[in-house]
Structure 1
Amino acid sequence: MTNTNYSKKIANYGVAWEGAFGYVQALQVKDTIYISGQLSHDEEGKLIAPATLDGKGRPADFTQMEAQIRQTYVNAKKLLAEFGATLDDVVEETLFVLDIPSAFAAGSRVRKEMYGTDMPPVASNLIGVNALAFPEQIVEITFRAVIDRNAA
């Protein structure tokens, strides 16, 4: 069923997992932009700062947390730009992480850097999970942004 009361604008990277799973990276409906879970990949879909895996195929440590979080924000900024938005328009974010202590330490530094303030005006959630899409992935972040379509 299609809702014809509004239009949807979408953005994708063109990475393999978009088609494999069947989803869009970002979607704008009216004045709200929804950004799917982002991770630390480059333009070709190669993971940036992958975690080293142990013998069981699990991350051996979380020393790459800061680098993964930073690249994830870089990717989100690119998607936001597709809609004429920036991190200033973000109202909510959710970080899904494999290790809360390392994510809290790294995330607090990177978030302040990316938002350009010690107290980003963003509702934020930090949620510990058992696994993410790729074994070397230790963080995934979703974003919601609201833009003022009537702004000059």
Structure 2
Amino acid sequence: MSLAAKPIAKRVENFGLPWESAYGYGQAVQVGNVIFVSGQLSHDESGKLVAPAPIDAAGKILDATNMELQMQTAYANAARLLHRFGAALDNVVEETLYVLDVDAAFAVAGKVRKAAYGTDRPSCASTIVGTTRLAFPEQLIEISFTALLPTSP
């Protein structure tokens, strides 16, 4: 008796950025009514980092003053992806923020999150995780999301 995995239907969306092919992943994947959004970061439509953190010759972050703009841009990129599935940030049920500087993130997260979700009490679970490194040396934050589409009655 074979236990081969039965394929599931997936819908994948990408931005067409170089690192999607280099690393080999989808920016967002829908299975049923669930949308899994890969870690979003601060980049424009061409893949250029927005508000890169200043780094020294060794690649060490010198300060995290660009945290707010990087966080805003990451939420905006997530919203652009979700829109492709007919969803919005309001459909998000869980998010995880990966940050290099937890204090800098906490200083701006409330304001940025409330603006992104359009409410003083975003109705999603949220976790913030401090880490020592992200994909790009100038990157201060990356945010992953899980969103749900309404099910048919």
TM-score with structure 2 setting the length: 0.94
In structure 2, C-alpha distance between the alignment counterparts of 1:12 and 1:47, rounded to whole Å: 17
In structure 1, C-alpha distance between the alignment counterparts of 2:57 and 2:22, rounded to whole Å: 27
What does residue 3 of structure 1 align with?
Answer: 6
Select the residue among 13, 17, 25 that pairs with 1:23.
Answer: 25
> Which stretch shifts more, 74-83 or 51-60?
51-60
Letter in 1 for 2:74: T
> Would you say 1:32 and 2:54 are equivalent positions?
no
Letter in 2 for 1:94: T
Note the C-alpha offset of 1:2. Answer: 5.4
> Which stretch shifts more, 122-131 or 102-111?
102-111
In structure 2, C-alpha distance between the alignment counterparts of 1:142 and 1:2, rounded to whole Å: 26
Q: Which runs of 5 or more residues in structure 2 are unaligned?
A: none
Measured against aligned partners, the alpha-carbon deviations of 1:33-90 in whole angstroms (never above 9, x if no partner) come to: 0000110001100000000002321110000000000000000000001100001100
Letter in 2 for 1:126: I
What does residue 14 of structure 1 align with?
Answer: 16
What does residue 135 of structure 1 align with?
Answer: 137
Q: Which runs of 4+ in 1 moved over 4 A?
A: none
Give the share of equivalent positions with the same residue, in percent: 51
In structure 1, C-alpha distance between the alignment counterparts of 2:6 and 2:80, rounded to whole Å: 28
Letter in 2 for 1:135: P
What does residue 57 of structure 2 align with?
Answer: 55
Mapping for residues 119-130 of structure 1, pairs under 5 Å: 119-130=121-132
In structure 2, C-alpha distance between the alignment counterparts of 1:44 and 1:73, rounded to whole Å: 17
SS in 1 for 2:103: helix
Q: Which has the larger radius of gyration?
A: 2
In structure 2, C-alpha distance between the alignment counterparts of 1:121 and 1:105, rounded to whole Å: 20
Letter in 2 for 1:97: V
Letter in 2 for 1:36: S
> Would you say 1:77 and 2:73 are equivalent positions?
no
What does residue 144 of structure 1 align with?
Answer: 146
What does residue 106 of structure 2 align with?
Answer: 104
Q: Which runs of 5 or more residues in structure 1 are unaligned?
A: none
- The number of equivalent residue pairs is 150
